[in-house]
Amino acid sequence: MIASPGEAKFKYCPFLMTHDDKMKFCQATMCMMWRYASPGTEENRPGYCGLAGRPADEEQEKR
């Protein structure tokens, strides 16, 4: 799912856990797995979590 960094920060990350096994929120652009959906230089451009692969919508547009 492509989302802005602000939207992504309210999604849960299954790889970030607290000491009592509760999921933490996505770190978006602060995470090494964050991938931008399009090239550019603006910091608030949309992106997605690279751990799940490319979003289906993006793959269909390239065909």
Containing structural domain, residue 24: 5-62
3-state secondary structure of 23: strand
Interatomic CA distance for residues 15 and 45, integer angstroms:
23
The pLDDT score that the predictor gives to residue 11 is 95
The pLDDT score that the predictor gives to residue 46 is 93
Work out the average pLDDT over 10-37. 93
pTM for the whole structure: 0.75
Assess contact for 48 and 28: CB atoms under 8 A. no
> Would you say how long the chain is, in residues?
63
The half-sphere exposure of 26 on its side-chain side, counting CA atoms within 13 A, is 21
CA distances (Å), 2 to each of 10, 19, 23, 60, in order? 13, 29, 20, 14
The total of structural domains in the chain comes to 1
Work out the average pLDDT over 29-54. 89
The pLDDT score that the predictor gives to residue 57 is 65
